[in-house]
């Protein structure tokens, strides 16, 4: 059968959303092109895949069967592309590093770029929402991950982790002009009347769901709103602007220099969360590529240098 991957992808997207215009927008093609690809696929296989109803498109029985197969083909094609890219990196002696968008991560990226001439060839990427870092590492999409984690979420027997920092509890910070909390007599339920600023899943995976569950189970309510941030700088700026109360795991005061901003700051739950935040290097267990191991050591040295300078 002479069908192409582009038509399969269009078919899957149309089956998922049911809108020709939405598929055209996400694939950055014209709406007639969407129609043509689906019609071409139907012509090649000799089956009708969709039926039009008043409520929109509906898959036929044959369409449901093909959808399952199409998803598998596209996933396998994507996985093949990722593995081939990994083989190319190995052949060329290059390393792909994923670094989170924490303040420490930003400093590390700057230092890596400045020292590019004295290190093995590398490429730096940043995490994207909805794409877990541990999956990217296990699937060979990247070779090294440098990221913060909450309670070691993301650990797996196929991965090896080296902690660069370990921090206890959670940090709460607020603009004193907008919130009248007394740090000396502060109680956590006070913040539940304010918008809470939390790290998103590409910054500290799992922290927001934990916080929501904690609030419901311990106090029986949620704050009016939770705003997620995928980088520490944006969360700090939002807190300074008075958009809400920042609640981040570990010693966010030290990580983001909050004490220099004039914010109200309090540390909590240090006894309950003794290992709340870890900033770590992760590689695949049993990694033997010299370039990967050398780059991981370089990352460790750069972070230690920054830590000494900050101290």
Average pLDDT over residues 74-88: 82
pLDDT one-digit tens code per residue, 129-186 = 778 899 999 989 999 999 999 988 888 889 999 999 999 999 999 999 999 898 888 8
How far does Cα 248 stand from its chain's mean position? Answer: 16
Q: What is the sign, positive or negative, of the torsion defined by CA atoms of 200, 201, 203, 207?
A: positive
Q: Which CATH architecture has domain 5-86?
A: Orthogonal Bundle (1.10)
d(CA 208, CA 299): 28
- The residues of the chain that CATH labels 3.40.190.10 are 95-166+277-310, 169-268
**Residue 171's closest CA among 207, 145, 206, 223?**
207
251 contacts: CB under 8 Å, gap ≥ 6: 167, 168, 169, 171, 267, 277
Which SS3 state, helix, strand or coil, does residue 229 take? strand
For the chain, the residue count is 311
Residue 41, classified by CB atoms within 10 Å of its CB into exposed (0-12), middle (13-18) or buried (19+), is buried
CA distance 282 to 308: 22
Angstrom distances, CA of residue 182 to CA of 2, 147, 271, 279, 291:
70, 33, 21, 30, 51
Q: Which fold has domain 169-268?
A: D-Maltodextrin-Binding Protein; domain 2 (3.40.190)
How many angstroms separate the CA atoms of 294 and 180, rounded? 50
**Which segment of 32-41, 98-107, 224-233 scores lowest on mean pLDDT?**
32-41
Let me know: does 146 contact 100? Beta carbons within 8 Å: yes
Packing angle between helix 31-45 and helix 5-17, nearest 10 degrees? 110
The whole-number pLDDT of residue 152 equals: 87
3-state secondary structure (DSSP) of residue 39: helix
Q: Tokens for 178?
A: 């907008």
Name which of 21-25, 53-57, 101-105, 156-160 the model is least confident about: 53-57
88 contacts 71 by C-beta, under 8 angstroms: no
Residue 265 bridge partners (DSSP) = 173
Architecture in CATH of 95-166+277-310: 3-Layer(aba) Sandwich (3.40)
pLDDT, tens digit, 9 for 90 and up, residues 281-300 = 999 999 888 889 999 998 99
pLDDT of residue 309: 65
* pLDDT value of position 120: 62
| Three-class HEC string of 58-126 | EECHHHHHHHHHHHHHHHHHHHHHHHHHHHHHHHHCCEEEEECCCHHHHHHHHHHHHCHHHCCCEEEEC
Where in the chain is CATH 1.10.10.10?
Answer: 5-86
pTM of the model: 0.77
**Residue 250's pLDDT is what?**
94
When comparing pLDDT for 209 and 92, which is higher? 209
- Give the model's pLDDT for residue 119: 60
**Two tokens, residue 19:** 């809108």
Q: What is the dihedral of CA 226, 232, 233, 235, to 10 degrees?
A: 10
* pLDDT of 101 over the 90 cut: yes
């Amino acid at each position: 059968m002479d069908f192409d991957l582009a038509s399969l992808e269009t078919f899957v997207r149309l089956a998922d959303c049911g809108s020709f215009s939405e598929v055209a927008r996400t694939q950055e093609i014209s709406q007639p092109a969407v129609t043509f690809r689906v019609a071409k696929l139907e012509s090649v296989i000799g089956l009708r895949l969709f039926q039009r109803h008043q409520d929109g498109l509906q898959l036929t029985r044959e369409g449901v069967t093909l959808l399952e197969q199409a998803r598998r083909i596209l996933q396998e094609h994507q996985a093949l592309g990722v593995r081939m890219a990994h083989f190319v990196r190995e052949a060329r002696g290059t390393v792909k590093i994923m670094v989170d968008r924490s303040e420490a991560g930003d400093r590390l990226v700057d230092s890596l770029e400045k020292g590019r001439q004295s290190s093995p060839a590398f490429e730096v990427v940043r995490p994207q929402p909805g794409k877990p870092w541990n999956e990217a590492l296990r699937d060979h999409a990247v070779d090294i991950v440098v990221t913060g984690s909450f309670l070691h979420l993301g650990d797996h027997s196929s991965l090896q982790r080296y902690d660069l920092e370990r921090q206890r509890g959670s940090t709460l910070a607020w603009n004193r002009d907008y919130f009248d909390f007394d740090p000396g007599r502060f109680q956590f339920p006070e913040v539940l009347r304010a918008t809470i600023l939390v790290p998103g899943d590409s910054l500290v995976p799992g922290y927001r769901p934990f916080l929501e569950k904690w609030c419901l189970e311990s106090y029986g309510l949620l704050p009016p709103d939770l705003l997620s941030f995928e980088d520490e700088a944006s969360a700090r700026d939002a807190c300074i602007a008075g958009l809400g109360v920042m609640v981040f795991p570990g010693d966010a005061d030290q990580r983001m220099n909050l004490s220099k901003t004039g914010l109200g700051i309090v540390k909590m739950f240090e006894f309950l969360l003794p290992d709340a935040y870890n900033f770590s290097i992760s590689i695949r267990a049993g990694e033997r590529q010299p370039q990967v191991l050398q780059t991981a050591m370089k990352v460790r040295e750069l972070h230690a240098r920054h830590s000494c300078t900050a101290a």
